[in-house]
Amino acid sequence: MSEPHIKREDSPGAEARREDLLQYGDSLQPDDDRYPNRPHNHSTTLLFSELFRCFFNPLSEVKAQPAVLGPARLKAGFGPGSSRLSPHDQRRAIIQRFISRWRTEVGNDFYPALRLILPDKDRDRSVYGLKENTIGKLLVKLMKIDKNSEDGFNLIHWKLPGQSVISRMAGDFAGRCYEVLAKRPLLTEVGDLRIGQVNALLDKLADASGESEQLPIFETFYEHMNPEELTWLIRIILKQMKIGATYAGFAGSSTTRKFD
């Protein structure tokens, strides 16, 4: 009786191979030359929505917890023998849980997710050249908003306080975008873009020159993401994640191979 076929890391499935080509280019040989022991995924990457629901949002909730220092830590239930996890341990648990799931469901190449988690450390992707004001103007055109309307004004003049609770927070551009996007969603449920597809589109965006090339890419994102996904995408583009995840949290593992 023949042994059952087992997927191995050096034999990715057809879909995973296609996604590899989508993310890393038509030829993987240069990348394999630089990283001869580069891991491969046996399956396609997770949906982008899983990244924000199971990683970004939980880390943001931990970061929002008030800091507890000194003797107050013991009163709050932290310390030796306590079953309550400190914020640091909570972050570590979230990171480890997500990486473990990735390795089980996708494979050992965590780099596609890491590029979105630590966009400021990504050396392979070109600079977008997009600031808040430019993104605001692109969104105004994309959603066909009158630039002189309240929402149009709030997007373009994002540094000024707005009228609503969210937009009163001057300087929170991503929050301002969410407020406007939530009024005009093409999707209310999460979209169908996978992390590999998002990376490929972001590579195109980084290579795009001018509004005529940038706008169609934003349109693709808009058609396949709900407002919360788009808000996280904007944070990735601006490299302003603010979720408490750092390079040190991943250093020492194979996940950082191309960031070193």
Residue 85 maps to a domain: no
What is the DSSP code (8-state) at residue 107?
A: B
Residue 118 maps to a domain: no
Residue 114 maps to a domain: no
The CATH number given to whatever domain includes residue 159 is 1.10.3260.10
Residue 55 maps to a domain: no
| Total count of domains within the chain | 1
Greater confidence, 31 or 130?
130
pTM: 0.82
Residue 92 maps to a domain: no
Residue 217 maps to a domain: yes
pLDDT one-digit tens code per residue, 174-231: 989 999 999 999 999 999 999 999 999 999 999 999 999 999 999 999 999 999 999 9
Residue 86: per-residue pLDDT: 87
Instruction: Using the structure block, give the residue that is written with the tokens 């583009």.
Output: 237
Residue 8: per-residue pLDDT: 43
Domain range for 217 is 132-238
Average pLDDT, the chain: 83
Q: Burial level of 122, CB count in 10 A (0-12/13-18/19+)?
A: buried
Long-range contacts of 168-171 (CB under 8 A, 24+ apart): none
**Does residue 140 surpass a pLDDT of 90?**
yes
Greater confidence, 253 or 123?
123
Contact (Cβ atoms closer than 8 angstroms) between residue 200 and residue 53: no
